[in-house]
Amino acid sequence: MGKKVSRRIDCNLCGSKEQTFKYTVKKGGKPFKAVQCSCGMLFVNPQPSMEFISTFYDEDYFSGKKKHNAPGQMDLEKHRDNFMPNINKCIAMMHKRKKKGKYLDVGCATGHYVELFQELGWKSQGIDISEYSTEYGRTERGLDIITGDVVTAGLPKGRYDLITLLNVIEHVPDPTAMVKELERILHKNGTLAISTPNAGYMVAKMSKENWWGWNDEGHIFLFSLATLEKLLDKAGLELYAIGSPYSYGNSVGAVWKNAPNIKIKGIRLVEYTLITKLSPAMFKVSRPLADLLTPGTISFARKRT
């Protein structure tokens, strides 16, 4: 028998069986329906089976040979400058800011963030379901990386001062279970940092199946700020801030210099302004408006008191 390709699910956020068909997206070369629940959750349904999804995350995915994946998972030095702004932002935005502490990167791949936090003096650990990437991180880089699912790993309760889930939650077949477990292992004064494409962004709504958030074959749940906040609240967490460095430059001059042509320069300058300036400020005033104006960001959550 061949591999089972898909399975139908209820909404992972609210449990509803009723969803509205939006459009069709491709996963592994096969068409899948993108649907939206009345709670706002946007996801693929029927879902690709775990057996089918596992074929996406091979050696080519982590080596950068596939078109739509995080770049440079094997070469830290080449991409160090891309990762440090995120690390500095995560530390700066912590609920209870610490120079050092216990850190966990969920979906760590080969361990870039694990290694960089370790260099900063943190007790640093990672976890990922990929046997290939985690073995590479342990044997080639000497890092403390677990192979497995964080939901079932049985990590100690209240252990971590900072947990990052960076461009991971959109890949996860049960986001609710994962975030509930992260709340359990987060220190009472700890911070959870989540980055993910924002399905509430006005361009995402207009672009539909052509939106870049669907480009990666492994993206099966796409959150808006509103649905992400609902998920966090459901798990006992409070979304208290958003903010992110911009991938293509940390200043107007750098963004302009790094863009290949006038059209891309204009697009990236708008995104830079939205992500680094307007969206974080607007979040404090009007979260629905921040949702519309935010292409993607890091969302920061703490335990609800």
Average pLDDT over residues 179-204: 96
Report the chain's mean pLDDT, rounded to a whole number.
90
294 vs 62, 157, 265, 300, CA distance in Å? 27, 33, 18, 15
Tell me the pTM: 0.91
Domain boundaries, the chain: 6-303
Cα angle 80-84-87, degrees, rounded to a multiple of 5: 140
Here the tokens at position 134 are 């985690």
Tokens at 63, concatenated: 């080596």
- In contact, 89 and 113? CB cutoff 8 Å: no
Cis peptide before 156 (omega within 30 of 0): no
- Between CA 80 and CA 83 the distance in angstroms is 5
Query: pLDDT tens digits, residue range 242-261?
Result: 998 887 777 888 889 888 89
Tell me the CA distances in angstroms from 61 to 65, 68, 106, 213, 221, one per residue in order: 6, 8, 17, 17, 19
**Ramachandran category for residue 24: left, alpha or beta (phi over 0 → left; psi -120 to 50 → alpha):** beta
Is-contact 169 237, C-beta < 8 A? no
d(CA 252, CA 16): 44
- Per-range mean pLDDT, top range of 151-165, 250-264, 275-289: 151-165
Query: For 6-303, which CATH class?
Result: alpha beta
Alpha-carbon Rg for the chain, nearest whole angstrom, is 19
Exposed, middle or buried, 180 (CB in 10 Å: 0-12/13-18/19+)?
middle
* pLDDT band of 145, cuts 50, 70, 90: very high
Q: What is the pLDDT of residue 75?
A: 65
pLDDT class of 1 with cuts at 50, 70, 90 = very low
- In tens, the pLDDT along 70-106 reads 545 556 677 777 788 889 999 999 988 888 999 999 9
